[in-house]
């Protein structure tokens, strides 16, 4: 018995399209689209490519059977696109493409974040996003806080407060740009968060290990998803309690 294609249905909802509208976009009968959705039928290669292009998805995500293994149960829409055992194993090209492709929003929550702040042309991209009317929010650890100093000791990184202060200074040139807001926080950070539009890189922290030695999850925002919103809500809680030292100095 064929299973409904829940991934395709979720992608349609995410794109704000009906089965009828998708059929018009890819020049097929609406009944064909209904069969893809309700019966899990897989269209021909040319049509698959057209559908994937319209929905801005990978063919293999919409039709997992193309990978060579047919799931025993209906595949559920998934927010988790990829996972790496440690941040240091995430290919440089992944970070680079996420930063370069961001069009509207970048949100970052770290203690120091030197690896991403001082590389990948981030300063230039912040400036470009500001010029384009985008939003950039960055949360850095408060170098004067007890929490940051203790975390540095726990992870064998006594220089962590200094590194956080260095990141703050490094970003001085973009702090006053329109749409750019940079603050410091003193939370006992459990996870680093990097948001690029509707993609989220989540780096959970394990006690005693530097962030680079902990796993990274790549999440994407989908209709009806929970994980993406779970971590962005956590970001907002830290943001609400953070402060802008530049405002306090003025």
Using H for helix, E for strand and C for coil, what is the string for the chain? CCCCCHHHHHHHHHHCCCHHHHHHHHCCCHHHHHHHHHHCCCCCHHHHHHHHHHHCCCHHHHCHHHHCCCCCCCCCCCCEEEEECCHHHCCHHHHHHHHHHCCCEEEEECCCCHHHHCCCCHHHHHHHHHHCCCEEEEEEECCCCHHHHHHHHHCCCCCHHHHHHHHHHHCHHHCCCCCEEEEEECCCCCEEEEEECCEEEEEECCCCCCHHHCCEEEEECCCCCCHHHHHHHHHHHHHHHCECHHHHHC
pLDDT of residue 249: 58
pLDDT of residue 217: 93
pTM (global) more than 0.85:
no
**Residue ranges of domains in the chain, CATH in brackets:** 6-67 (1.10.260.40), 80-249 (3.30.870.10)
pLDDT (tens digit, 9 = 90+) per residue, 102-153? Answer: 999 999 999 888 888 877 788 999 999 999 999 999 999 998 888 888 888 8
Average pLDDT, the chain: 86
Between 2 and 147, the higher pLDDT residue: 147
Q: Is the pLDDT of residue 75 over 70?
A: no
pLDDT (tens digit, 9 = 90+) per residue, 185-202? Answer: 998 888 999 999 999 999
Q: Is the pLDDT of residue 18 over 50?
A: yes
Q: Is the pLDDT of residue 224 over 90?
A: no
Q: Is the pLDDT of residue 37 over 60?
A: yes
Mean pLDDT of 13-37: 89
Q: What whole-number percentage of the chain has pLDDT above 90?
A: 41
Q: Is the pLDDT of residue 73 over 70?
A: no
d(CA 94, CA 200): 12
Q: Is the pLDDT of residue 61 over 60?
A: yes
pLDDT of residue 56: 86
pLDDT of residue 180: 97
pLDDT of residue 173: 92
Mean pLDDT of 164-185: 93
pLDDT of residue 68: 58
pLDDT of residue 150: 86
pLDDT of residue 108: 97
Q: Is the pLDDT of residue 34 over 70?
A: yes
């Amino acid at each position: 018995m064929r299973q409904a294609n829940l991934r395709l249905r979720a992608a349609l909802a995410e794109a704000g399209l009906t089965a009828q509208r998708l059929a018009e976009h890819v020049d097929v009968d609406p009944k064909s689209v209904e069969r893809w959705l309700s019966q899990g039928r897989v269209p021909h290669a040319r049509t698959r490519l057209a559908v994937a292009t319209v929905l801005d998805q990978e063919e293999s995500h919409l039709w997992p059977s193309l990978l060579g293994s047919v799931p025993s149960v209906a595949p559920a829409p998934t927010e988790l696109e990829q996972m790496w055992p440690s941040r240091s194993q995430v290919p440089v090209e992944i970070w680079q493409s996420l930063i370069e492709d961001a069009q509207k929003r970048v949100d970052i929550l770290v203690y120091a974040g030197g690896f991403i702040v001082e590389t990948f042309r981030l300063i230039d991209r912040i400036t470009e996003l500001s010029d384009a009317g985008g939003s950039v929010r960055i949360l850095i650890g408060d170098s004067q806080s007890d929490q940051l100093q203790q975390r540095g000791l726990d992870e064998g990184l006594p220089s962590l407060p200094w590194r956080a202060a260095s990141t703050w200074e490094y970003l001085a040139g973009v702090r006053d740009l329109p749409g750019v807001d940079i603050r410091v926080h003193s939370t006992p950070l459990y996870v680093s968060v990097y948001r690029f539009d509707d993609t989220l890189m989540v780096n959970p922290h394990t006690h005693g290990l530097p962030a680079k030695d902990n796993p990274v999850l790549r999440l994407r925002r989908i209709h009806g998803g929970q994980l993406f919103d779970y971590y962005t809500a956590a970001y907002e809680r830290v943001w609400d309690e953070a402060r802008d030292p530049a405002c306090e100095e003025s």
